[in-house]
Structure 1
């Protein structure tokens, strides 16, 4: 029987390995990773880190599949024994590059298709696993988290369905509204944020970054993102501004209420670098408007931290805005699918979150606290201290 692990920090290293958590009980024999379609490369990176930290060549990825009938109906198959194993299922419901054949036609998988396949794999496990944790970086139906009219509460219903099927923990990143976890109050729900990774990437890719209120400000593109921005402004000791969006609640266009006005609330921006923080880019029109207003108010460089770069309406409007000098760089993560066209844009920086995800999996597997992973303030302060020392040596 695998004993409960006691995990403590020791020089930031797992079992003496650089970069993770030191775990007194390093048994990972019953750890299993199931990679849903489209997540293979991300899962390979997670497996690489876990192998490195525990000094093993063990194969953690379990072979599973969701084949389709000619009608488009599917089924889930797990091709290895999973009895008594601690299973982590990694899924990206927004990977539209995955396709299947239906009536002789190639059909891209929608978020609904991906979620159905996730449930099929859970059904194929059939209660044999010791525990099931779902790693769903961008939460399925996360934007349909509340009811303002006679409409469905899809995200809450999806979470309840997973728990009912035997899922113990759900791990997501930068949920559109973390309060949706209230739908499953007796089950595990961890909402991670890539705060440290974004700041580290900015320092690596940009020159002359100065984190003080005279030179930089954090801006939320809407009221809903204020708490997200506070996680940056608090640890960096920066001021925060925001935009107020007034929407026409009587109309629905492309699934949402159209924005009628977009107004900045905050301190003077003249000569300051601005970091705009949001959870996602969908069409991108409101973000471009945010960039334009910031430039008009005298902002110097404009960067944007976006956890999920969907770019549903293509990249052309961002190409034009970049050419016009409205922004300098957009930082996106590899938590969801990004096509090659996006990754080759000069205005995009891809931020790798595979190591961070591996931390979370390793901690949960050993029944260790993920509190320090969720709260990265110590690592950010260390990064800032190192920047100050480097700057002092250059004087």
Structure 2
């Protein structure tokens, strides 16, 4: 089966990208897999064929010459978010590497790299996100070990959404600290560096040893640019939905003030959560009467907390309520809740692909963080400071999105 796949992909690498779909269908049929589109293996093969075709097409194009600084690096992607990976690669100026990340007939993950990576700096873009968190994690681990056994010089994993991050401590007896266990897994397979975006808890960086530095970037500036340019805010107030997010809201407020010249206020919601996924009483600290409020959070899961927070703000006299969050999981009834809520707009970034119902929701808008991650990758590869991207007022107010800090 793998021999047949390799042969098909070899031909695909010499064909235009538009032929990749046909090639992947033929390979899936030859392997005896399920019908194309319903098989996870076929979907992985499809992405590998497209990557191989794109790589061959770019290599055959003499009009574009690769930058000498980028010759020693390669960027690869799993199946979690290939659209984001393609945008990042485009921003960096490097085509995605040729690889197949698919499934064997029994459901096991299959990884095959179709180009030489010996001595190169490898960047693997793979959020461990829904709808297949565990499969995407295994894909990432096997891609790392494949690169390590192929003699890659350095391996950086770009994990825009770090799964299991909310299990960062023991809340009750006899439960795992999963965020730390995932860090150990990544270390054990040979990861040299981790790039993440808005970790649920910044202390997760400490779960990795000193030999594996972690760059925890932030998407705040993407949201600041959006609200500064597209929303006519009146008496803006930035609201943290809990005590742990006050610093994040403070950074967002400072960026908005610098970019718009306004004097946005800051408020916080104090909530009691009797158990996971259930929000009890909420209280507001701060004044929002007659103000446009922006709730700033790191993620939206079922949207229960978000919608209750919006109701509380309106009850306290808020004029309009918006939300900016880095990761839009939109699990379970989230989209339905947002549609029926008093929220004007919910803005997220593309660390996680939007579900179909979220794409059709008028209140949900997704922005790209590819420039943030792409700039970070280029600076890491060229041995430049990542933190220099974010220092000073000029950077906070810059038109081009960048990350908050290294």
TM-score range, shorter chain: 0.7 to 0.9
Aligned residue for 1:126, secondary structure, equals: helix
Match of 1:39 among 81, 88, 108: 81
CA distance in 2, matches of 1:338, 1:377: 33
User: Which deviations, in whole Å up to 9, do the C-alpha atoms of 1:174-213 show, x marking residues without a partner?
Assistant: 111010111114021011111111111112322x335xxx
Contact 1:66 1:74 in 2 (8 A): yes
Greater length-normalized contact order (CA 8 Å, ≥ 6 residues apart): 1
User: 1:134 Cα deviation (Å)?
Assistant: 0.5
Match of 1:168 among 185, 192, 195: 192
Aligned residue for 1:176, secondary structure, equals: coil
- CA 1:147 to 1:125, structure 2 compared with 1: closer, same or farther past 3 Å? same
Aligned residue for 2:70, secondary structure, equals: coil
CA distance in 1, matches of 2:361, 2:142: 37
Contact 2:322 2:346 in 1 (8 A): yes
Structure 1 unpaired stretches of 5+: 1-24, 52-58, 97-109, 384-395
Is 1:93–2:128 an aligned residue pair? yes
Scaled by the length of structure 2, what TM-score is found? 0.75
- CA 1:318 to 1:74, structure 2 compared with 1: closer, same or farther past 3 Å? same
User: 1:339 Cα deviation (Å)?
Assistant: 2.7
Is 1:275–2:294 an aligned residue pair? yes
User: 1:354 Cα deviation (Å)?
Assistant: 0.9
Aligned residue for 1:368, secondary structure, equals: coil
CA distance in 1, matches of 2:101, 2:270: 44
Contact 2:205 2:214 in 1 (8 A): yes
User: 1:118 Cα deviation (Å)?
Assistant: 0.7
CA distance in 2, matches of 1:376, 1:161: 36
1:133 maps to what in 2? 156
CA distance in 1, matches of 2:302, 2:398: 36
CA distance in 2, matches of 1:74, 1:199: 39
Aligned residue for 1:49, secondary structure, equals: helix
Match of 1:226 among 232, 246, 259: 246
Contact 1:85 1:129 in 2 (8 A): yes
Is 1:180–2:200 an aligned residue pair? no
Contact 2:145 2:190 in 1 (8 A): no
1:264 maps to what in 2? 284
CA distance in 2, matches of 1:376, 1:28: 28
2:307 maps to what in 1? 288
CA distance in 1, matches of 2:188, 2:226: 39
Is 1:122–2:141 an aligned residue pair? no
Bigger share in helix: 2
Aligned residue for 1:129, secondary structure, equals: coil
Contact 1:92 1:337 in 2 (8 A): no
User: 1:43 Cα deviation (Å)?
Assistant: 1.9
Aligned length: 323
CA distance in 2, matches of 1:137, 1:347: 23
1:157 maps to what in 2? 181
User: 1:376 Cα deviation (Å)?
Assistant: 7.0
CA distance in 2, matches of 1:95, 1:304: 21
CA distance in 1, matches of 2:392, 2:373: 14
Runs of 4+ in 1 over 6 A off after TM superposition: none
Correspondence list, 1:320-331, <5 A: 320-321=340-341, 326-331=342-347
Aligned residue for 1:291, secondary structure, equals: helix
CA distance in 2, matches of 1:177, 1:156: 12
CA distance in 2, matches of 1:258, 1:340: 25
Match of 2:264 among 231, 235, 238: 238
1:84 maps to what in 2? 119
User: 1:257 Cα deviation (Å)?
Assistant: 6.0
User: Which deviations, in whole Å up to 9, do the C-alpha atoms of 1:240-268 show, x marking residues without a partner?
Assistant: 111111122xxx4xxx26322111111x2
Aligned residue for 2:69, secondary structure, equals: coil
Correspondence list, 1:370-381, <5 A: 370-375=386-391, 377-381=393-397
- CA 1:234 to 1:310, structure 2 compared with 1: closer, same or farther past 3 Å? same
Aligned residue for 2:272, secondary structure, equals: strand
Aligned residue for 2:152, secondary structure, equals: coil
Aligned residue for 2:110, secondary structure, equals: coil
Q: CA RMSD in A?
A: 1.9
Contact 1:31 1:60 in 2 (8 A): no
